[in-house]
């Protein structure tokens, strides 16, 4: 099973800066089950457009190459861990 979390953010985005340590904690606690790909929308505008990113931060989880979950904004690490545990 292959899980990848795309974390769309921007350097000027304050909520993105708040979300980053939460996302990092969730990935660490996933014990290698989820890979993380951080994407700066300014440096990767084409990728942001391809994934229909309209605001940041946005988290998109893929399972075996298919989108299975998406969230605009962010949540607590414990809530994200519960969500991902149901998907894993």
Q: Tell me which residues are annotated as active site.
A: 13, 16
Q: What is the tally of helices (H) and strands (E) in the chain?
A: 3, 4
Contacts of 78 (CB under 8 A, 6+ apart): none
What stretch of H or E contains 7? strand 3-9
């Amino acid at each position: 099973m292959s899980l990848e979390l795309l974390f769309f953010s921007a350097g000027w985005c304050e909520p993105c800066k708040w979300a980053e340590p939460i996302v990092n904690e969730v990935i660490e606690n996933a014990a290698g089950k989820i890979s993380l790909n951080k994407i700066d929308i300014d440096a990767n505008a084409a990728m942001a457009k391809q994934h229909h990113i309209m605001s940041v931060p946005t988290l998109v989880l893929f399972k075996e190459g298919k989108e299975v979950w998406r969230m605009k904004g962010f949540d607590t690490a414990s809530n994200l861990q519960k969500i991902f545990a149901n998907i894993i």
